[in-house]
Amino acid sequence: METKTIRNFILGLVLGGVLVAFALRGAVVEKPITKPLEVVDEESVVTKVVEEATPSVVTVSISKTNIINNNLFPGFDIFGDFFGMQIPKQQQQEQKIEQDIGTGFVISNDGLIVTNKHVVSDTTAKYKVVIGKDEVVEVKEIYRDPENDLAILRVDKKGLTPVKLGDSDKLKVGQTVIAIGTALGEFRSTVTKGVISGLGRGITAGNPFEGSEKLENVIQTDAAINPGNSGGPLFNSAGEVIGVNVAVSQGAQSIGFALPINLIRDSINNFKTTGGFERPYLGVSYQMITKQAALLNEVPAGAYVQALTDNGPAAKAGVKVGDIITEIDGVKLVDNKDISIVSLINKKKIGDEVTIKLWRDKSEVNLRARLEKRV
């Protein structure tokens, strides 16, 4: 009995193993259902942005006629008559200039285009924009922003494709950016790619012929920015404009700068509301006092009033030269590039009333000023 029992036990194990093997074999036959993976690489992201954004990027061209005085015989014009020689002294010659000088981008389908103010700084010239490959449209009106290096062009063209505006306050150093523009005023629709190299930069931009301008809180990028890119868009990887290309460092490679789009957005909204760039002003010239200087002189940190505009809002409110403005509408003024009288007033509207807290003769004074249109 014991031998038979052992035999049956072994036979049961063998049969059970066979059944398990068949069961497992059947389970392996059916393949698992998986969804295909969508691989998105950096190259496809860039090409998608370029394809969608390029129709919204335009080339800005200048048209101008210069008068040139040519002296046919230099050095002899003074003595020609003295020796009885009939020498023509000067001839005037017209020189016509037609060339691409910058870039812009469409912000409305009814013909509004953004570029830099310095691109269209010549008020005696005429300007055109090239849309697409070769459609040339004359610029009818130019609105130049007195506060920023920004201009809005109006063309008589409907059905344009506006860009999408992003949020430059959310930018991070290292994120991918794409620039599109007319490099060197010669190569239209040039695409360059890089990263944001720095934020909150302060630079002095300009040239010996047009003067210089201090630009604050600009974006630094290593995407190639060349002369001719000025006024063009700087895109993020989502195809949104996060900056306006404005300058390139002449003394280094791969260092370009762009105005943050949120600064430009405020100007655009102002323009669409007022039809121009009308802004309120307070009418004070000031010097910021650092915390260290304030401690040494036993005064509060703030804006030391150096001068006042005659009959301006601040003067009417009672502000005096020598006052230290410490707060505007409850916002403390500190030696910080992000908080200043200009930045606070630019967020207001003409006719708004603001509260000014200042330090005078070792005591606090509270005043109210009504903002006016800058004349």
CB atoms within 10 A of CB 291: 11
Instruction: Tell me which residues are annotated as active site.
Output: 118, 149, 230
What does CATH list as the number for 280-373? 2.30.42.10
CB atoms within 10 A of CB 153: 25
Share of the chain above pLDDT 90, in %: 50
pLDDT of residue 268: 87
Is residue 26's pLDDT more than 50? no
User: pLDDT category, 167, cuts 50, 70, 90?
Assistant: very high
The predicted-structure confidence for 298-335, as pLDDT tens digits, reads as follows 888 888 999 999 999 999 999 999 999 999 999 988 76
The predicted-structure confidence for 279-291, as pLDDT tens digits, reads as follows 788 999 888 887 7
The predicted-structure confidence for 214-253, as pLDDT tens digits, reads as follows 777 899 999 998 889 999 999 999 999 999 999 887 766 7
Is residue 5's pLDDT more than 80? no
Nearest to 151 by CA among 129, 168, 184, 178: 129
- Distance CA(214)–CA(207), nearest Å, equals 12
Report the pLDDT averaged over residues 184-193: 92
The domain spans of the chain are 164-274, 280-373
**Contact, 159 vs 109, CB < 8 A?**
yes
Lowest mean pLDDT among 154-163, 208-217, 258-267: 208-217
pLDDT of residue 370: 95
**Bridge-partner residues for 45, per DSSP?**
none
Q: Output the six-digit token pair for 29.
A: 């036959």
Query: Of residues 16 and 94, which shows the higher confidence score?
Result: 94
pLDDT of residue 191: 95
Lowest mean pLDDT among 23-32, 55-64, 259-268: 23-32
Nearest to 112 by CA among 146, 150, 62, 169: 150
Report the pLDDT averaged over residues 23-36: 49
**Contact, 110 vs 52, CB < 8 A?**
no
Nearest to 105 by CA among 160, 168, 147, 144: 160
Under 8 Å CB-to-CB from 134, ≥6 apart: which residues? none
pLDDT of residue 334: 77
44 residue type, one letter: S
CB atoms within 10 A of CB 114: 28
Coil, strand or helix at 221: strand
The predicted-structure confidence for 136-152, as pLDDT tens digits, reads as follows 999 999 999 877 889 99
The predicted-structure confidence for 35-92, as pLDDT tens digits, reads as follows 554 445 678 889 999 999 999 999 999 998 877 766 555 554 444 444 455 555 556 6
pLDDT of residue 249: 76
Coil, strand or helix at 367: strand
pLDDT of residue 272: 83
Share of the chain above pLDDT 70, in %: 78
pTM score, two decimals?
A: 0.66
User: pLDDT category, 341, cuts 50, 70, 90?
Assistant: confident
Task: Count how many Cα atoms sit within 13 Å of the Cα of residue 231 in the half-sphere of its side chain.
Answer: 34
Chain mean pLDDT for the chain: 82
Coil, strand or helix at 274: helix
pLDDT of residue 194: 94
Nearest to 237 by CA among 57, 53, 39: 53
Place of tokens 């403390």: 332
CB atoms within 10 A of CB 117: 22
Query: Of residues 204 and 51, which shows the higher confidence score?
Result: 51
Is residue 11's pLDDT more than 90? no
What does CATH list as the number for 164-274? 2.40.10.10
